Amino acid sequence: MELSLAHPVIKAFMCGSLSGTCSTLLFQPLDVVKTRLQTLQGGVQPGSGRVGMVTVLRSVVRTERMLGLWRGVSPSFARTIPGVGIYFSTFYSLKQHFCQDSSPGALQAVLLGAGARTVAGVFMLPVTVIKTRFECGRYRYRSVVGALRSVCRSEGPAALFSGLMATLLRDVPFSGIYVLFYSQTKASLPTEISESSCAPLANFGCGVLAGVLASLITQPADVVKTHVQVNPQLRTVEAVRYIYVEHGLQGFFRGAVPRSLRRTLVAAMAWTVYEQMMNRLGLKS
C-alpha cells in the first residue's frame, strides 16, 4: 500500500524536476540580468524598463562574454532539479489529499500553491542564497559545494538562511496567486480547445497570463530578498529602509521586466511540461 501511494508522488517529482531543468537552462540569462539590475553591478546605472535590461545585458556580455549570461546556472540547477520536483510532488500530494478527484476552487488553489511553495522554498533556501550570490557578480565561488563551505566557514550556517522571510513573502504569494489564475483561466477554456491538440499551447498561454500578474504583485519582495542575500548583514526591515531611502518606491520594482519575463516563461513552461508528462504517465495533474 505504501509503495502504491508513493509511486505517483515519485512520478510527480520526476516530471517536475525535468520541467524545471528545461526552463532554467533556457531562461537563466534573464535571472542574471534581473539580479544585476537589483544590485547595480559594475557601475551600471540602469534606467527603467527595456533600457535598463539592454544596458545590463551589454555590460555582462562585454565584460564576461556570452557565458556570463549563464553565471549561476550550476546553483540554479542544484536548486531547480530537486526544488521544482519537491514543489510539484508536494502540490500533487496536497491536491490528492484535500481535493481528491475534484478540481480545486479559488481558495483551494491559493492554499495548494502556497503550501507547496513553502515546503520547497524552506528546503532549498541555502542553494537559493548561493545562486543569488553567483549571479550578482560580487562573489567568486568556483562551485556550489565550495560556496556552501565558504559561507559556513566565514559567515556561519545561519547565513545560508538569510532572506528567509523575504523569500517566503515573495514565493508563497507568487505560487498561490499563480495557481489561482492558472487554474481558473484554464478551467474557463472551451472544451474543444482543452481537449484538442492545441491544449498545451492554450495552457502555456494561461500560464503566461498568470505569471505576469503574480510577478508584478510580488516584485517588491524579490528586490528585498536579493539585497538581503547579497548583503547578509542586512535584515529584512533594514533592506526595505535602504531601498526606499536610496531609490524611492520605484526601487522596489527594479528588475521587474526581466524577472517578470523569466518567472512567467519558466512557470508557464514548467507547468505545461509537467502536466503533459503526468498525462502521458496516466496521472491527473
Length of the chain in terms of residues written: 285
0.85 surpassed by pTM:
no
CB neighbours of residue 183 within 10 Å: 22
Which of 62-66, 67-71, 85-89, 277-281 has maximum average pLDDT? 85-89
Domains, the chain, ordered by start: 2-280 (1.50.40.10)
Count of alpha carbons within 13 Å of 220, Cβ hemisphere only? 14
Contacts of 215 (CB under 8 A, 6+ apart): 174, 256, 259, 260, 263, 264
Whether pLDDT at 201 is above 60? yes
Q: Which of 166, 163, 207 is nearest to 184 (CA)?
A: 207
Whether pLDDT at 56 is above 60? yes
Which grid cell is 175?
Answer: 505560487
Whether pLDDT at 100 is above 80? no
Q: What pLDDT, on a 0 to 100 scale, did the predictor assign at position 40? A: 61
CB neighbours of residue 246 within 10 Å: 10
- Cβ(122)–Cβ(131) under 8 Å? no
Q: How confident is the model at residue 81 (pLDDT cuts 50, 70, 90)?
A: confident
- Cβ(158)–Cβ(116) under 8 Å? no
